[in-house]
Structure 1
Amino acid sequence: MATNMFPKTIIFILFLTICQGTNAAIKDKIQSDENNADTDTNSEIREKTVPDLELMQNRNQHHRMMNTIQSIRRHSKTKRRMKKRYKCYVCESSDCHNLPEEASHICTNALQCWKSRVRDAFGVETVSRGCTTQHDHLPFYCNNYAHSSSPKKRDTSGQYNIECCVGDYCNNGTFPELPPLPNDDHDATHINSTRNYIVLTLGMFGALIAIVMIVCVVLYIRRRTDHKRMVPSRTKHDQDTYYAGDELLRVTSAGDSTLREYMQHSMTSGSGGGLPLLIQRTLSKQVTLMNCIGKGRYGGVWRGIWHGEQVAVKIFSSRDEESWKRETEIYSTILLRHENILGYIGSDMTSHNSSTQLWVLTHYYPLGSLYDHLHRSALSHHDMAIICLSIANGLVHLHNEIFGTKGKPAIAHRDLKSKNILVRENGTCVIADFGLAVMHKPNAPLDIGSNPRVGTKRYMSPEILDQRINLNCFESLRRADVYSFALIMWEVCRRTISGGFAEEYKVPYYDVVPSDPGFEDMRKVVVIDSYRPSIPNRWSSDNLMDGMSKLMRECWHPNANVRLPALRIKKTLQKLAEASSDVKVGYDGEIYV
């Protein structure tokens, strides 16, 4: 190293000698010029121009040489300093000197040593020691911006203090201190955090409310679309406005067999059941369908509004036109109206969604069918007597013929069951669903169709299941209705409270056939095995229930000729009600409703 420094020292001494000689020459020149200042002006100005230029050049040269010398000195000093390397501590303890070797790390070949204290945005302070081994890193560690905040991001801040030093192990000892944390910064940080939580919560609730509103709007639009699709017409109190408006959906007659063509042969002008023909042709335009209340093999039953009153709308599909025709014809029969027969309003044929719909409008009963009523509640003796006697009254009116100029023919229901009997609010019942009914017209064959085994299989009589029924004899159809009525009486009595107990509702033959039995299933049980619904033994201790059980046995007898007629059943029920103290009977023999 001494060998390398010797040439540089010699060069430096030579430069210094040259600069001193030049300075002495310049000073002598200036002194001689001042001595000749008394010469005349013209010669002085003429002779002084060249020396001044030379003097300025010498001064500039002198300054450049001095700057070069100072730069060489600084460069030499920096080189000497850059070549100097130190050892530094790397630990987090306040005194790294007394720590064991495995806990204290030493950084070698360092340009500078440093120790620091850093405070993050949450006020947590951390300390560290280290070293800088590269010249490029010096400005980042050892600058003069102590206690400065770090570059701020969103809602974050921090402070740090770094002390740099030169020398072996100079970064030992206590760490630099930071100024105390201002309370307003902490409060601001807390306020910012609280505000962020509030904004996040409001955002979540806002998104949830938006989703709920979107779902509600979608459901509302879908409901309105379904309502418009299902409701082909609207009821209006002002009929002139209704028929003049173009915004309403008009219902037109459709199909080859229109209502007008059919009514010309089977409808009257109002002397029988239902409305006059002219009014019936506009029924579908005056009814608003509200909701579906039942479905069957023929279609569905809807609750509708007609002139502010609730009505039941039975809708047939076009493939069930024969059932619609038969039911319309039965309901339109003269003198059919009876308190225990479903009230008929009218029929109509409409077009909806390019398909034909056949409507039958009847009275509406909120309690629904007897099947639903028995599921909901148990019955007292009085309730049971009212239900059975009202069904018997309706059956008598159907089966009996009324003679006269315009009398009523005898009618067989052929599909009597608890689902086809509706319950009024006063507890009495009405018979409904005449889609399979048959009228007995004098001197005319029975119109029963090609298949005699129609109706509900569970309620079919033995002669229908065995195909021994005489289809040309109307009395055979009436006796089949009596068998079905016996099963209905069993369903009602089973739900009647006797001895403080009532069985749960069950359909006939629930214990021997599946839920949807076939013809062979019912034929084996009813015809071959001669099985009938079981009667509880405790009914024998109740006079009314014992009499009802005897009446059932006579009505579901295997021999159809032994079964009681409907009128005999009605009188027997009246006698049983009069003999029971639990049934309230008036002086005229009628049961109080």
Structure 2
Amino acid sequence: MKTNGHCFAIIEEDEHGEPTLASGCMKYEGSDFQCKDSPKAQLRRTIECCRTDFCNQDLQPTLPPLDSTGRQLYSVRIAADVGVFSTSLSTDGLFDGSIRWMAVLISMAVCIIVMIILFSCFCYKHYCKTMAKRHCYNRDLEQDEAFIPAGESLKDLIDQSQSSGSGSGLPLLVQRTIAKQIQMVRQVGKGRYGEVWMGKWRGEKVAVKVFFTTEEASWFRETEIYQTVLMRHENILGFIAADIKGTGSWTQLYLITDYHENGSLYDFLKCTTLDNRALLKLAYSAACGLCHLHTEIYGTQGKPAIAHRDLKSKNILIKKNGTCCIADLGLAVKFNSDTNEVDVPLNTRVGTKRYMAPEVLDESLNKNHFQPYIMADIYSFGLIIWEMARRCITGGIVEEYQLPYYDMVPNDPSYEDMREVVCVKRLRPVVSNRWNSDECLRAILKLMSECWAHNPASRLTALRIKKTLAKMVESQDVKI
């Protein structure tokens, strides 16, 4: 056939698998496109085209073979004046959509499996480290057991420590062992420094003060003060042990002391009223503790004078026998007359503003001398005596518990609030008229007034307070 377009010959397999041969010519327009055919044809076929006159009679197309996967190949053969060009394509495309999705799913599955394996390896490694630490801890604990024989109580250990002559508390290895063996039972308090827990050691109740890591300076100072030679006193909270637990970013600072279930003086006064004897017992025992702190003991194993700097009803604990013991020595200042040095802790923490003396509030306190710190403690002690006296019943009358200056400043007063009331106006907590009608409260009123005098030099010493209260205790036949 003669035409100005392409001539062709095509062989196609019908639906029964029988080949059919056909030939013909096409117009010029679109003949190139027709010769390319489509790779998506459903039946197996081959088309061959040529451009010369009657050329299709020489074309002999054959069906394309099947590839290794059973897919048919499509052949296009275009013949020119010289030579023939032919190609073969898969009839369902080189990148079938289902195959692509299959590849994506397989890749995702492989990634997930790899992640699971890596995570399992990490967990196993972490578990091995934890078990190694636990084994090491248990081994150390077994070694440390040698320092505390079975059956020894805390009282036995402390008595042995006192009789050994060191007077500075239990040996460090014993402290470390006790700290490891403590079982935390329940939280009993929380403050700006950390938390207080009731714990048990060999069945004995102990108090565990857990400091925040930001309060390391307070922990270090309090531990240092408690381990001062000859520090132990019945009216100072009994120190047992101190330890640091944890590694890396996880650290706990433990201070272990005697446990007093009555809580602080603040808690005690809120729910308990006093008679004259109970009042004198509390006041005298607190004065004894403060006097021991303030007193320097001379000798080869002497004790430096210590000022508390944060005396308040929340820092005094009530023992079972109704006496007081002073706690929280994280801000304490030491003084040794031999060196004439005032040892002030490097601590950003400050005392409680409500209990601060006038000279502390107006910043006139001479920090280079020790005596001003002592006198500031006495001012705070006067406010504590006022808190006690309000809860003493006379003639069936008693005031509800309140903090000092409760009616003059907000619940959380600022320096300016306290300075205005204490320094500028020179006000002091209000005293009930009923106090003057009772001999005991009248003497207490005189005592506290001499404690909170504006001029530090006019205030009583702790020893003077102790002796005055001792006479009152004797006159009331109070058993301490």
TM class, shorter-chain normalised? 0.5 to 0.7
Query: Could you say if the C-alpha distance between residues 451 and 307 of structure 1 is closer, same or farther in structure 2, counting changes exceeding 3 Å?
Result: closer
Give the match for residue 254 of structure 1. Answer: none
Distance 1:448 1:297 in 2: 20
Q: Percent of aligned pairs with the same residue?
A: 54
Give the match for residue 548 of structure 1. Answer: 444
Residues 503-538 of structure 1 deviation map (CA, whole Å, 9 limit, x = unaligned): 000000000100000111000000000000011111
Note if contact 1:421-1:430 (Cα within 8 Å) is conserved in structure 2. yes
2:237 to 342, 348, 357: 342
Shift of 1:465: 0.1
Give the match for residue 390 of structure 1. Answer: 285
Query: Could you say if the C-alpha distance between residues 241 and 527 of structure 1 is closer, same or farther in structure 2, counting changes exceeding 3 Å?
Result: closer
Letter in 1 for 2:382: A
Show structure 1 runs of 5+ residues with no match. Answer: 1-231, 234-238, 245-268, 586-590
Give the match for residue 418 of structure 2. Answer: 522
1:368 to 263, 268, 282: 263
Give the match for residue 313 of structure 1. Answer: 208
Residues 463-494 of structure 1 deviation map (CA, whole Å, 9 limit, x = unaligned): 00000001111110000000000000000000
SS of residue matched to 1:446: strand
Number of matched residues? Answer: 324
Shift of 1:573: 1.1
2:300 to 400, 405, 426: 405
Q: Does residue 325 of the first structure (1) align with residue 212 of the second (2)?
A: no
Query: Could you say if the C-alpha distance between residues 322 and 241 of structure 1 is closer, same or farther in structure 2, counting changes exceeding 3 Å?
Result: closer
Q: Does residue 279 of the first structure (1) align with residue 166 of the second (2)?
A: no
Distance 2:409 2:215 in 1: 29
Letter in 1 for 2:342: L
Letter in 2 for 1:376: C
Residues 367-386 of structure 1 deviation map (CA, whole Å, 9 limit, x = unaligned): 00000000111001100000
Note if contact 1:508-1:533 (Cα within 8 Å) is conserved in structure 2. yes
Residues 266-290 of structure 1 deviation map (CA, whole Å, 9 limit, x = unaligned): xxx9712321011122333211111
Shift of 1:331: 0.3
- Superposition pairs for residues 140-289 of structure 1, below 5 Å? 243=142, 271-289=166-184
Query: TM-score, normalising length from structure 1?
Result: 0.53
SS of residue matched to 1:300: strand
Shift of 1:307: 1.7
Give the match for residue 537 of structure 1. Answer: 433
Distance 1:323 1:507 in 2: 25
Note if contact 1:291-1:302 (Cα within 8 Å) is conserved in structure 2. yes
1:437 to 326, 329, 332: 332
Show structure 2 runs of 5+ residues with no match. Answer: 1-132, 144-163
Distance 1:275 1:452 in 2: 29
Q: Does residue 562 of the first structure (1) align with residue 458 of the second (2)?
A: yes
Aligned-residue CA RMSD (Å): 2.2
Note if contact 1:335-1:408 (Cα within 8 Å) is conserved in structure 2. yes
Residues 267-318 of structure 1 deviation map (CA, whole Å, 9 limit, x = unaligned): xx97123210111223332111111111111101110011221100111122
Distance 2:346 2:243 in 1: 27
Distance 2:333 2:258 in 1: 22
Letter in 1 for 2:279: M
Shift of 1:352: 7.5
Residues 434-463 of structure 1 deviation map (CA, whole Å, 9 limit, x = unaligned): 000011023153232578992000000000
Distance 1:270 1:321 in 2: 30
Letter in 1 for 2:278: D
1:497 to 379, 393, 404: 393
- The structure that is helix-richer by fraction is 1
Letter in 2 for 1:592: K
Note if contact 1:283-1:348 (Cα within 8 Å) is conserved in structure 2. no
Give the match for residue 469 of structure 1. Answer: 365
Q: Does residue 482 of the first structure (1) align with residue 378 of the second (2)?
A: yes
1:299 to 181, 194, 198: 194
SS of residue matched to 2:263: coil
Distance 1:313 1:450 in 2: 24
Q: Does residue 290 of the first structure (1) align with residue 185 of the second (2)?
A: yes
Query: Could you say if the C-alpha distance between residues 520 and 529 of structure 1 is closer, same or farther in structure 2, counting changes exceeding 3 Å?
Result: same
Residues 153-179 of structure 1 deviation map (CA, whole Å, 9 limit, x = unaligned): xxxxxxxxxxxxxxxxxxxxxxxxxxx
Q: Does residue 592 of the first structure (1) align with residue 476 of the second (2)?
A: no
Query: Could you say if the C-alpha distance between residues 288 and 471 of structure 1 is closer, same or farther in structure 2, counting changes exceeding 3 Å?
Result: same
Note if contact 1:452-1:464 (Cα within 8 Å) is conserved in structure 2. no
Distance 1:444 1:452 in 2: 24
Letter in 2 for 1:288: Q
Shift of 1:576: 2.6
Distance 1:327 1:513 in 2: 30
Structure of higher CA gyration radius: 1
Distance 1:409 1:569 in 2: 20
Shift of 1:241: 12
Shift of 1:243: 3.7
